[in-house]
Amino acid sequence: MNITLALMGLALHILIWEKLPDWGNWFNWIVKRLPRPLAYLYDAWHCPFCFGFWAGLTLHALTGEYTIGHLATMPQYLGAAGIPIAWFLDALTTSLLIMFGSLCFNAISGLAVKGYQLKQSFKQGN
C-alpha cells in the first residue's frame, strides 16, 4: 500500500478547510464570490471522505500513483472496463485513508489543546 496520495489529499483537505479560512479574509472573500455550483462543491466537500474520493481521482490522474499497487494490473477479462474500475476502487481506498487521517488528527489535536490549556492553567496557579 502506498499512502502518498492519501497524504497529499489530507494535506490539501487541511489546507483548504482548516487553515486557509483562518489566514485572513482573502480566502473567505473568494469563497463567498464563487459561482453557485462551485460554492456548493466547497460546502459539500468539507467531508474528508467526499473530498478524498475526488482528490484521489485527481491526484491519481496527475501522478499516475496508486494507493493499492495491484490495481495497476487489472485482470485481462475486464478489458477496457478494468481501468475505470481500478481508478474508482483506488480513489475509494484513498478517500477512506484521508477520512481516517482527518479523524486521527482531530482526535489528537483535541487532546493536545486540552493538555496545553491544563498546563497553562497549572502554571498560572488556577
pLDDT, one tens digit per residue, over 80-107 is 999 999 999 999 999 999 999 999 998 8
Name residue 13's amino acid: H
Mean pLDDT for 119-126 is 82
Per-domain boundaries in the chain: 4-123
Q: For the full predicted model, state whether its pTM sits above 0.85.
A: no
Q: pLDDT class for 24, splitting at 50, 70, 90?
A: confident
Q: Which three cell numbers stand for residue 55?
A: 482528490
Mean pLDDT for 51-78 is 93
Instruction: Work out the burial of residue 96: count CB atoms within 10 Å of its CB; fewer than 13 is exposed, 13-18 middle, 19 or more buried.
Output: middle
DSSP for residue 15: I
Q: Which three cell numbers stand for residue 91?
A: 480513489
